[in-house]
Amino acid sequence: MAKRSSRRYRQLPPPAIIVAPIVDIVFILLIFIMLVSRFLQPAVEVQLPGSSTAEARELSNIVITVDRGGQLLYRGQTVNDAELAAALEAVNPAETDAVRLRADERVNVKRLVEVLDIVRNSPLRTVALEVKLK
């Protein structure tokens, strides 16, 4: 009679996924995306006019973009003149030094003057025109 092997096989627990590290990674990625998205500007294609006397300055946090059709963009959203005026009235002038105006080089001068008037009628009186260096 053959001797039976009496080896006992130890049962291993089924593989488990540890959730705590995965939650930590997802939370860190969420914070990263929230922080990075705050500093992104809308990708509106604007061809800035050139200037041979342009100089680099510290940029303020208020940017108004006028695209080639004369549409206004403020903080990534399309606004009309009244909405822009109301938004600029709500800004504290002590928190910013100037308003940066990015206008396409093909924008009508009349439209540009209208936007400048809106900014000048707000508490923020200093306007910096953004141009590219020739």
Residue (of 54, 83, 59, 78) closest to 67 by Cα position: 78
Please provide the CATH number assigned to the domain covering 50-133: 3.30.420
CA 129 to chain centre: 19
Neighbouring residues of 49: CB distance < 8 A, sequence distance ≥ 6: 103, 105, 131, 132
Strands 77-79 and 132-133: unpaired
Strands 72-74 and 62-66: antiparallel
pLDDT of res. 79: 93
Around Cβ 124, how many Cβ atoms within 10 Å? Answer: 20
What's this model's pTM, rounded to 2 decimal places?
0.57
pLDDT band at 86 (very low <50, low <70, confident <90, very high): very high
Measured on CA atoms in the order 68, 72, 76, 77, is the torsion positive or negative? negative
Residue (of 41, 72, 80, 44) closest to 59 by Cα position: 41
Q: pLDDT (tens digit, 9 = 90+) per residue, 87-130?
A: 988 888 777 878 888 888 888 889 989 999 998 888 887 888 88
Amino acid at 79: V
Q: What's the whole-number average pLDDT of the chain?
A: 81
